Amino acid sequence: MGLFHKTRDRPVLEDLHIYFVCDAGMGSSAMAASQLQKKLKAHGIICRVKNCAIDEVPEDAQILVSHSNFTQRIQKQFPDVRCYSVQGFMNDEEYEQIVEDIMIFRKKKEEKKNNILEKSNIMLNCHADSSDEAIIAMGKLLKASGYIEEGYIQGMLNRDHSLTTYIGNDIAIPHGEYEVKDCVKKTGIAVMIYPEGIKWADGNVRIVIGIAAKNDDHMAILANIAEKLGEMEMVEKVVTGDVDTIYDILAGDVE
pLDDT reported for residue 54: 87
175 is catalytic: yes
pLDDT reported for residue 112: 59
The side-by-side arrangement of strands in the sheet containing 203-212 is 117-123, 188-200, 203-212, 171-172, 166-168
Residue 136, Ramachandran bin (φ over 0: left; ψ between -120 and 50: alpha; else beta): alpha
Residue in 47, 67, 83, 175 annotated catalytic: 175
DSSP at 125: S
Q: Is 243 exposed, middle or buried (0-12, 13-18, 19+ CB in 10 A)?
A: middle
Identify any residues that bridge with 211 across adjacent strands, giving them in sequence order.
175, 189
Residue in 22, 52, 83, 126 annotated catalytic: 22
Q: Cα–Cα distance between 145 and 140 in angstroms, integer?
A: 8
Instruction: List per-block mean pLDDT (blocks of 10 residues) for the chain, which spans 255 residues.
Output: 46 72 76 88 87 88 89 88 84 84 77 74 97 98 96 97 95 93 92 97 96 75 78 95 92 55
pLDDT reported for residue 25: 57
DSSP β-ladder status, 171-172 and 117-123: unpaired
pLDDT reported for residue 217: 62
pLDDT reported for residue 216: 67
Q: Cα–Cα distance between 217 and 112 in angstroms, integer?
A: 8
Half-sphere exposure of 64 (CA within 13 A, CB side): 30
Question: Within 10 Å of residue 195's Cβ, how many Cβ atoms?
Answer: 11
Q: Cα–Cα distance between 190 and 96 in angstroms, integer?
A: 38
Domains and CATH numbers, the chain: 18-111 (3.40.50.2300), 116-251 (3.40.930.10)
Q: Cα–Cα distance between 35 and 37 in angstroms, integer?
A: 5
Q: Cα–Cα distance between 141 and 91 in angstroms, integer?
A: 51
Amino acid at 15: D
Q: Cα–Cα distance between 116 and 51 in angstroms, integer?
A: 31
pLDDT reported for residue 192: 98
Q: Cα–Cα distance between 173 and 166 in angstroms, integer?
A: 7
Which uninterrupted H or E stretch holds 20?
strand 18-22
pLDDT reported for residue 9: 46
C-alpha dihedral over 74, 79, 81, 87, to 10 degrees?
Answer: 30
C-alpha dihedral over 14, 32, 100, 81, to 10 degrees?
Answer: -70
